[in-house]
Chains A and B, each alone.
Chain A
Amino acid sequence: MATDRTAKVTWTGTLMDGAGRIEGVGSGAFGPLEVNWASRAESPEGRTSPEELVAAAWASCFSMALSHALAGAGTPAERLEASVTVTFQPGEGITKGAIVVVGTVPGVDHDGFVEQAEGAKVNCPVSKALTGIPEVTLDATLAN
């Protein structure tokens, strides 16, 4: 079954001096969120950006995929903490994604955890939509 998710964005004025708003999303979970060029390309000053939103999309997708893979291997996770850093080079595009995950997973060793994390990095739907990013790194460690 297909799943649709929506967002509405407005912009007024020029790129450099104008202002945008993510007015809202279909679920109502957040918004409005202010966005502008300075907060995207320079200091965020409390404002989000497309790169930060995709970092959140990726980290949340990766976490679910890893949770699923660990449970499938008979070693369900108690807790996963994932951070994603997305690097944007104006004029060039998204050049790098760095995934860092720390897991509390009883019954798994370091190599087993890394193997499942590598699988989630490749298989989560957001990863599959971002295969054009030239460099994607993974740093997976166990807390237990």
Chain B
Amino acid sequence: MPRIVRDADVAWEGNLARGHGAMTAATSGAFIGLSYSLPTRIGDPEGKTSPEELLAAAHGGCFTMSLAGELTGAGTPPGRLDVHCRITMDEVEGRGHLIVHSALEVHASVPDLSEDAFAAAVEAAHSGCSFSTLLRDAGVSIDIQTTLES
């Protein structure tokens, strides 16, 4: 399969404390000129996204597709998957700000699937999702809570 390439563009003006930036999904155009700043990144978002929120969307999106793939491969494609991802950034002594945790809550509706088979698919999705792998490699703890509805 060919390599897949995706681009994003960001423009930043000014200093860190009072400056602001705008980010654009350059390959797809799915979002254009989303603004962000330091105060809205670390405090009240005030309707503005942040690197960590985009990471939550990326990890949630990757895990969801990975789980859909595992369930499909096992002959039990999902009716519906609902996945909530929460990314936590914290200041770690001596290492500055780090992404420390990603929490995935998975609610799945899958016809004719046993709890054991579901648990196996979740485990395989966690191993297979490229973002789960990267976050794990970087020492980010990942917690997955699941509920299955047949």
Chain B binding surface SS class: mixed
Contacts of B56 in A (CB 8 A): 5-7, 25-26
**Contacting residue for A22 out of B10, B40, B60, CB 8 A:** B60
Q: Which 4 A-B pairs have the closest CB atoms?
A: A132-B137, A27-B45, A29-B49, A56-B8
Known: A6-B86, A13-B78. A1 touches B54 (CB 8 A): no
Contacts of B28 in A (CB 8 A): 39, 44-49, 52
Contacts of B81 in A (CB 8 A): 9-12
Chain A binding surface SS class: mixed
CB distance from B101 to the nearest CB of A (A): 8
Tier of interface size on chain B: 35 or more
Interface positions of B (Cβ within 8 A of A)? 1, 3-16, 19, 21, 23-31, 34, 36, 38, 40-43, 45-62, 64-65, 67-69, 72-73, 77-91, 95-100, 130-131, 133-138, 140
* Beta-carbon contact of A5 and B52 below 8 Å: yes
Q: How many residues of A contact B (CB 8 A)?
A: 85
CB distance from B9 to the nearest CB of A (A): 5
